[in-house]
Structure 1
Amino acid sequence: MTGRSGRGVFGKLFAKKQSNRDERATEIGMPTNVKQHIHVSKNSETGMLEGLPSSWQRLLNTQITPAEQHENPDAAAAAVKFHIYTIKKEKAPNEPFKPFVTEQAITEEDLEIEKLLDKKNAHQSQDSDLSFGQSSEEDAPGESYSHRQTMPAQPTKHSMKKKDAMMDLTAIVEDLTMIGHEPEESPILRKKEIANATLTDEEIYEELRKICNKDDPYVRFERAKDLGAGASGVVFVAIDSKDNSRVAIKDIDLTKQSRKDLILNEINVLKGFNHKNLVNFLDAFLSYDHLWVAMELLDGGSLTDVVTEVVMKEGQIAAVCRETLQAIAFLHSKGTIHRDIKSDNVLLGMDGSVKVTDFGFCANIVGDEKRQTMVGTPYWMAPEVVTRKQYGKKVDVWSLGIMAIEMIEGEPPYMKETPLRALYLIAAVGRPKIPRWENLSANFQDFLDKCLQVDVDLRATADELLAHPFLECAMELRTLTPLIKAAQKILHKNYD
């Protein structure tokens, strides 16, 4: 996510698509000013948690054993709550970009996550115990925790959806309807708040015209190659007639966007961020109802392609860590947190340049289908993201450490686990084991130690890591080019 403040970020996550749902579902219903505090407890005989909504409980019991729930009840409860929250976030309406977050936005998100359990239990009578639209797999004996510890080595979209299908379908729909509503508010107050929070379409178009380049994008750019399409637009490579450069463009049909105000906010944010280690925003163009957003094109693809196909030397890993840290330190200096550092969000140029992105449409440009099914999953998350303790800028440092493990091992820890189980292990175990630890240099080991401290106070800052001796062994960036070419050849990828 990206550098916008407070309500803009949070509204984006939980914006409701007004045109595609029955308004009565939220206009009339159970009183919203009833707040019910639920206490999750541990059954002394079975060792399993109690007090969770039934659909959550079933999901938890399929993936986390009674012994694990008994040993780490707080981690288990935090994992299932965060997993449900992640599902809600993923089912929010289309996100044209995926900007960074501020600490203010995180505070608001904390409050929303904390209210999650109370809201769910306050409406427990509406839960899907009648199996309305529910998969019968959920209660099948073969689906017990002892048989569902791990996922296939190469998860597919089908297998990921099957795991998520374990959730009560109507419970998810109910959650999506409820999310974002304050329990203390009345429907009238809620409606007024929403009305006052948004600009009219006419006002948004007027603001966009002010900040967009006046050139006609259909004349200025020659469309060279389509790269993908998402819910919010089409992505393609284009040639800029002004300098013959190749750029990545997303064509967003504004008539299909339910929250045009968010797009306006995000364009303003992108215009304010420019750094040699970020995939930079170049310009925006408005032509009738189409917004064209031009970004730098990184023709080497994502770091994911390299780490999954090629063995990297320590010096090459150090070089990538240094460049990534420079981007992270820049964002932190601007008071923003990336919150999604991983190899998928590090793009490479054929000259070996390393740039961090987190603008959602860039994933369409370089995304691998298997990895795209992993969007929103927790493998790179710091423990405090799950437990919501001391959550701040240092989450990016933890994620960098996990990305370094990716560069060593080819994948992050727990990649073969289900998302919920991975969340539990991150919260319960903390620092993951590194299989090839003994093969690493002392400086690399110390670098990872400073990244992967569970105690946030002991974890290094991005600026401190930029001065770490490990980075002194960094090889020249051009040494990454053969790795990129080898990965592209194996994966049959090119961006010409």
Structure 2
Amino acid sequence: MEYLSGGDLHEYIEKCGPLPLEKIRSISAEILCGLQYLHTMGIVHRDIKAKNILLDKDGHIKITDFGTAVTDAYGKMIKGLVGTPCYMAPEMWSEKPYNWAVDYFAFGLTVYEMATGRSVMKAIFTCQPSYSSKMNPDLKDLFERLVCKDQENRRRLVRNLRSHPFFQSINWLELEEGKARSPCVMTRMSRFHNNWPVMGTRCDRCAWAHPNHLVWNRFHMFRPLRFSQSPLIGLLKQL
């Protein structure tokens, strides 16, 4: 199994706070590539979150933890209250059939965390996530598309995200071929997990970024988590 020395995105956000726009753009573009690859393979992850986005030493991401994934969902509607509660899409809480669009809702909350440095739990419990009036308008529009509460509208809004103005500077061919450079490259590595490495702004060499490399090819054999007994259920369903 590949060793990813950069830790997870949640830890990185906790250490660095709100990320600069170029880092948000780079990480978001790679997550988008990974999700699109998964969905074309008929896989719905159902637990996208910052803790499941790992970073390698060159600052490129990999999506991990497929314990709640559905692997034969191409063109199908699925059901199940699984995943991490504060990242679940409204249709999951409503126990309605859903598809790949739930991953984009969770992706949007991950973008929110990168942009604000705030806990996604705070965003959910205030019902309407708040952000600075100085937020880049393209980033704000991307976020609002991803977290659209109506799943039908969300599916429509996210279909052509590669053409979104926020990603205008992304060369998608280079990204998929592993030629794109990440602004999140590690500049100092640590021997110990608890001693978080420092992130730099320059990249000495490229790392693979093709969708095949954005996703771990090992599926964790865990049973899907269910929260029907959680005290959070009643509260979150009312949002």
Tell me the TM-score normalized by structure 2. 0.63
Superposed, which structure 2 residues align to 1:415-434 within 5 Å? 415=122, 425=125, 429=127, 432-434=128-130
- Offset, 1:465: 1.5
- Offset, 1:299: 1.5
Q: Alpha carbons of 1:486 and 1:456: their partners in 2 closer, same or farther (altered >3 Å)?
A: farther
Q: Alpha carbons of 1:411 and 1:402: their partners in 2 closer, same or farther (altered >3 Å)?
A: same
CA distance in 2: counterparts of 1:393 and 1:488, whole angstroms: 38
CA distance in 1: counterparts of 2:193 and 2:37, whole angstroms: 34
1:472 and 2:164 equivalent?
no
Aligned residue-pair number: 173
Counterpart in 2 of 1:457? 152
Counterpart in 1 of 2:54? 347
SS in structure 2 opposite 1:358?
Answer: coil
1:387 and 2:90 equivalent?
no
Higher helix share: 1
Counterpart in 1 of 2:222? none
CA distance in 1: counterparts of 2:129 and 2:62, whole angstroms: 28
Does the 8 Å contact 1:315/1:473 carry over to 2?
no
Counterpart in 2 of 1:336? 43
SS in structure 2 opposite 1:350?
Answer: coil
SS in structure 1 opposite 2:168?
Answer: helix
Does the 8 Å contact 2:19/2:117 carry over to 1?
no
CA distance in 2: counterparts of 1:466 and 1:397, whole angstroms: 13
SS in structure 2 opposite 1:317?
Answer: helix
Counterpart in 2 of 1:212? none
Does the 8 Å contact 1:312/1:408 carry over to 2?
yes
- Offset, 1:377: 3.8
Counterpart in 2 of 1:315? 22
Amino acid at match of 2:87: W
Q: Alpha carbons of 1:488 and 1:449: their partners in 2 closer, same or farther (altered >3 Å)?
A: farther
Superposed, which structure 2 residues align to 1:301-312 within 5 Å? 301-310=7-16, 311-312=18-19
CA distance in 2: counterparts of 1:340 and 1:331, whole angstroms: 13
Amino acid at match of 1:492: N
Structure 1: which 5+ runs fail to align?
1-294, 361-374, 417-421
- Offset, 1:463: 4.4
Does the 8 Å contact 1:300/1:347 carry over to 2?
yes
- Offset, 1:488: 9.8
Does the 8 Å contact 1:299/1:349 carry over to 2?
yes
Q: Alpha carbons of 1:315 and 1:333: their partners in 2 closer, same or farther (altered >3 Å)?
A: same
CA distance in 2: counterparts of 1:304 and 1:387, whole angstroms: 27
Summarize deviations over 1:259-309 as a string: whole Å, max 9, x none.
Answer: xxxxxxxxxxxxxxxxxxxxxxxxxxxxxxxxxxxx222111111111111
CA distance in 1: counterparts of 2:5 and 2:168, whole angstroms: 27
Counterpart in 2 of 1:492? 195
- Offset, 1:376: 5.3
Q: Alpha carbons of 1:313 and 1:457: their partners in 2 closer, same or farther (altered >3 Å)?
A: same
Superposed, which structure 2 residues align to 1:242-257 within 5 Å? none
Structure 2: which 5+ runs fail to align?
68-81, 172-179, 198-239
Amino acid at match of 1:341: I
- Offset, 1:441: 1.4
- Offset, 1:447: 0.6
Q: Alpha carbons of 1:380 and 1:442: their partners in 2 closer, same or farther (altered >3 Å)?
A: same
SS in structure 1 opposite 2:86?
Answer: coil
1:442 and 2:146 equivalent?
no
Q: Alpha carbons of 1:337 and 1:376: their partners in 2 closer, same or farther (altered >3 Å)?
A: closer
SS in structure 1 opposite 2:185?
Answer: helix
CA distance in 2: counterparts of 1:405 and 1:300, whole angstroms: 21
Summarize deviations over 1:91-142 as a string: whole Å, max 9, x none.
Answer: xxxxxxxxxxxxxxxxxxxxxxxxxxxxxxxxxxxxxxxxxxxxxxxxxxxx
CA distance in 2: counterparts of 1:359 and 1:384, whole angstroms: 20
Higher strand share: 1
1:296 and 2:2 equivalent?
yes
CA distance in 2: counterparts of 1:457 and 1:352, whole angstroms: 34
Does the 8 Å contact 2:5/2:56 carry over to 1?
yes
Superposed, which structure 2 residues align to 1:47-86 within 5 Å? none
Amino acid at match of 1:381: M
- Offset, 1:388: 1.9
Q: Alpha carbons of 1:390 and 1:376: their partners in 2 closer, same or farther (altered >3 Å)?
A: closer
SS in structure 1 opposite 2:110?
Answer: helix
Tell me the TM-score normalized by structure 1. 0.32
Summarize deviations over 1:50-82 as a string: whole Å, max 9, x none.
Answer: xxxxxxxxxxxxxxxxxxxxxxxxxxxxxxxxx
SS in structure 1 opposite 2:120?
Answer: coil
- Offset, 1:383: 0.9
Counterpart in 2 of 1:28? none
